[in-house]
C-alpha cells in the first residue's frame, strides 16, 4: 500500500503523507519516507513535506507501541532515525502542516528547516506524557532545539497541545496561513530555498546540527529499552 506520494515540482521534491487514516508513523510510512528522501537527494534541490487536508501526522503507530516488545522498540528506533535524518537532510526541508500534528507529527515539524501551518481547529504538540508514554530523548531534545525556553516544560513535561497560532508563538511553527493558501505558500518557499548554495547549506546544517544528532543516535536505543521496560512493554 502506498503511504507516501512523491512528485517533482521543478527543483522541489513534494512528499505527501497519506495513508487514508491518521498518517501514523508506521513501518511502511517510515520506510517510504526514507525512500522519498533518497530520491530527493539525487533528483531535487529542496524538499516539501506535507500531509493531506486535516492531518500532517498523528505520531507513531499506537497499535504497535501498545503491543510492546521488539516491535515497539523497532518502531521507535526507526522512527527516531528518520527524524534525525530529516533534521540533518543536506537539502532545505519545508514542512507544511495542513492539520493536526501530534506527538511524532509535531516532531516532524521540529526537524524541518521552515515550518508553515494551516490556520484552523487543529492541534499541534507532544501529548505523550498525557497518554502514559515517557518522552524519548530524541523527542525532548528536538523540542528543546525548537521551542522557546519559556515554553519548553509546558510543551514537553506538561503535554500541552496548541492551536496553530499558539504553536507559532512557542516555536513549533514559523508561519501560519489559511488552509487554501498553504500549499502555494510552502511550495514558493521551498523553491526559494532551492536557490541557496547547495554546498554552503549542507555544510552549515551539518555543522549546526551534527553534534546533537550524533549524540542522540548514540543514546536512543538504550533510552527506548528503558522506556519500554518502565511502562511494562
- pLDDT tens digits, residue range 106-126? 999 999 999 999 999 999 999
The grid coordinates of residue 93 equal 526541508
Q: What is the pLDDT of residue 153?
A: 97
91: in domain: yes
Q: What is the pLDDT of residue 69?
A: 84
81: in domain: yes
67: in domain: yes
Q: What is the pLDDT of residue 233?
A: 64
Mean pLDDT score, 137-151: 95
Q: For the chain, what is the mean pLDDT?
A: 95
Q: What is the pLDDT of residues 10-65, one digit of tens each?
A: 999 999 999 999 999 999 999 999 999 999 999 999 999 999 999 999 999 989 98
232: in domain: no
Q: What is the pLDDT of residue 173?
A: 98
d(CA 134, CA 87) in angstroms, rounded, equals 22
- 45 close to 18: Cβ distance less than 8 angstroms: no
**The pTM of the whole model exceeds 0.85:** yes
Domain count, the chain: 1
At residue 111, φ and ψ (nearest 5 deg) are -95, 0
Mean pLDDT score, 114-139: 95
d(CA 204, CA 176) in angstroms, rounded, equals 27
Q: What is the pLDDT of residues 193-206, one digit of tens each?
A: 999 999 999 999 99
- Percentage of the chain beyond pLDDT 70 is 100
- 46 close to 12: Cβ distance less than 8 angstroms: yes
92: in domain: yes
Q: What is the pLDDT of residue 27?
A: 97
Mean pLDDT score, 136-163: 96
Q: What is the pLDDT of residue 86?
A: 98
**129 is in which domain, residue-wise?**
4-182
- Helical ranges in the chain per DSSP H: 27-43, 62-67, 69-88, 104-110, 137-146, 152-155, 164-170, 179-194, 198-230
Instruction: Look up the CATH number of the domain holding residue 120.
Output: 3.90.226.10
202: in domain: no
201: in domain: no
Q: What is the pLDDT of residue 210?
A: 95
- 51 close to 18: Cβ distance less than 8 angstroms: yes
Amino acid at each position: 500500500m502506498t503511504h507516501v506520494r512523491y512528485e517533482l515540482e521543478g527543483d522541489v521534491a513534494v512528499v505527501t503523507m497519506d495513508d487514508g487514516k491518521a498518517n501514523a508513523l508506521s513501518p511502511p510510512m517510515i520506510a517510504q519516507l526514507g525512500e522519498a528522501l533518497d530520491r530527493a537527494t539525487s533528483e531535487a534541490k529542496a524538499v516539501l513535506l506535507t500531509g493531506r487536508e486535516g492531518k500532517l501526522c498523528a505520531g507513531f503507530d499506537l497499535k504497535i507501541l501498545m503491543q510492546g516488545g521488539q516491535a515497539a522498540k523497532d518502531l521507535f528506533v526507526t522512527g527516531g532515525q528518520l527524524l534525525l535524518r530529516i533534521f540533518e537532510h543536506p537539502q532545505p526541508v519545508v514542512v507544511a502542516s495542513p492539520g493536526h500534528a501530534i506527538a511524532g507529527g509535531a516532531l516532524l515539524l521540529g526537524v524541518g528547516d521552515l515550518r508553515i501551518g494551516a490556520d484552523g481547529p487543529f492541534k499541534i504538540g507532544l501529548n505523550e506524557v498525557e497518554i502514559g508514554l515517557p518522552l524519548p530523548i530524541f523527542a525532548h531534545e528536538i523540542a528543546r532545539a525548537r521551542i522557546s525556553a519559556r515554553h519548553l516544560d509546558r510543551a514537553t513535561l506538561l503535554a500541552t497541545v496548541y492551536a496553530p497560532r499558539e504553536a507559532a508563538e512557542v516555536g513549533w511553527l514559523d508561519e501560519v496561513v489559511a488552509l487554501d493558501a498553504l500549499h502555494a505558500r510552502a511550495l514558493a518557499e521551498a523553491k526559494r530555498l532551492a536557490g541557496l548554495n547547495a554546498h554552503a547549506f549542507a555544510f552549515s546544517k551539518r555543522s549546526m546540527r551534527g553534534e546533537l544528532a550524533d549524540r542522540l543516535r548514540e543514546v536512543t536505543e538504550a533510552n527506548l529499552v528503558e522506556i519500554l521496560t518502565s511502562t511494562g512493554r
